Amino acid sequence: MSLSVLLVKILEFMFVAGWAGSVIVLLLTGYEDVGTLLDRKDENSH
């Protein structure tokens, strides 16, 4: 396996693993965001 192929494999792994983790980030922060949006008691809209 050439060096460039190895580099591409590493980059592909980083991208896929990164996206998998980012989807979890999106789900968790999205859940939290719903709570933030529903909690309007201290909202200041001036």
Partner 1 sequence: MSSTSNAPTGNNRVRIVVATSVMLTFISYWRAAAVILNDLGSSAFYAGGIAEQAIGKSAPWFVLGVMLFAFAVRAVYVESCSMFVRGGVYRVVKEALGGTLAKLSVSALMFDYILTGPVSGVSAGQYIAGLINDTIAIADAHGWVPAAIHRIFHGTPQVGENATAVVFAVAVTLYFWWQNIKGIEESSEKALWVMQITTVMVVMLLGWSFFTLLKVGGHLPPFPTLANIHYTDESLGFWKHSKLPHMFGILGLIIGFGHSVLAMSGEESLAQVYRELAHPKLKNLKRTAIVIGVYSFVFTGLVSLLAVMLIPDNVRMKVYSDNLIAGLAMNMVGPQVLRLAFRAFVVVVGFLILSGAVNTAIVGSNGVLNRVSEDGVLADWFRRPHKRYGTTYRIINLIVGLQLFTIIVSWGNIYTLGEAYAFGVVWSFVFKTISMLVLRYRYKGVRNWKVPPNLHLFGVEIPIGLASVGMVLLSTAIVNLFTKSVATVSGLIFSIVFFAIFTFSEKVNRRKHAHSLAQMKEQFQLQQAESVERETVGIRAGNVLIPVRDYNTLNHLKWVLDRTNPREQDVVVMSARISQYGTAAYGLSTEQVFSEYEQTLFTRAVSVAESFGKKISLLVVPARDPWSAIAQTAHNLESSAVVAGVSSKMTTAEQAFNLGSAWEAIPEPKRQFLLQIVAPNGNVDTFRIGPHTPTMKNEDVVLLHRLWLKITREPGLENVHHHDILTEALTRFEKDYGAHEREGICEELRLRADADPMPIRRIADQIQTVQPGPNRPDRDDGYRSDGPPTPDGDSSE
Interacting residues with partner 1 (CB under 8 A): 4-5, 8, 11-12, 14-22, 24-26, 28-30, 32-33, 36-37, 39, 42-46
What gap in Å lies between CA 39 and CA 18, rounded to an integer?
A: 31
Residue 26 structure tokens: 């999106």
Least separation, in Å, of the C-beta of 10 and partner 1? 8
What gap in Å lies between CA 25 and CA 28, rounded to an integer?
A: 5
Least separation, in Å, of the C-beta of 5 and partner 1? 7
What gap in Å lies between CA 15 and CA 12, rounded to an integer?
A: 5
Least separation, in Å, of the C-beta of 32 and partner 1? 8
